[in-house]
Amino acid sequence: MAETWDARRFCIELWYIVIRSMARKSTAGPATDPELLILSSVAGGPKHGYAMMQEIAAFSGVELGPGTLYTAITRLVEEGWIEPVEASGRQRPYRLTPGGLDYLRGQLERMRQLASFGLRRLRTV
């Protein structure tokens, strides 16, 4: 006998797939967060967007797309964690603000604590 199509069951399964995919967390981890990567990059001195992309790819292996990069830069500027430096050319460099420095220090300290805790636990395994 051919199986009848159950619309209700189909909708429930579809909904389940949607909810599961929405709830899925990034598996890349905090070390690939664009905002932290940008803050780490400009901590070494003012840089424009393209220079940030190149440096981030070199030190972390993460290739940020232009859209992701400027979405993160926009948010960081709005939060007051980086600020543009006046420049005559087409590319505007950005520098870290004191607030951005505090935020970056806090985030990296938290990551360091987590990493050292996890590594200690791994040694006992």
Kindly list the residues in this chain that would bind another protein in the complex (CB under 8 A). 48-50, 53, 65-71, 73-74, 90-92
Is residue 97 within 8 Å of residue 80, measured between CB atoms?
Answer: yes
Nearer to another protein, 36 or 73 (CB): 73
Phi, psi of 64 (to 5 degrees): -75, 135
Task: Output the smallest distance, CB 75 to another protein, in A.
Answer: 9
Task: Output the smallest distance, CB 14 to another protein, in A.
Answer: 16
Nearer to another protein, 86 or 119 (CB): 86
Instruction: Tell me the residue type at 34.
Output: P
Is residue 77 within 8 Å of residue 43, measured between CB atoms?
Answer: no
Nearer to another protein, 64 or 96 (CB): 64
Is residue 94 within 8 Å of residue 55, measured between CB atoms?
Answer: no
